[in-house]
Amino acid sequence: MSLPSNLPPTVTLAPTVQSEPRLTSLSHGGGCGCKIAPGVLSGILKGITAMPMP
């Protein structure tokens, strides 16, 4: 790749690197239930029938 003629010779063009956000930066907690608001989780759990322990 050659530089445009109007740039001083000390200027270099470098490709920019875009990085994807880390998944851990998108959630304040680590578990699946932590990603759901407490009120929403409560509503979900109210509709679930308790299963007997084996």
Structure tokens at 10: 């000390």
- CA pair distance 14, 16, nearest whole angstrom: 6
- Would you mind telling me the total number of residues written for the chain in this entry? 54
Active-site residue, selected from the candidate residues 32, 48, 50, 53: 32
32 belongs to the catalytic site = yes
**Catalytic residue list:** 32
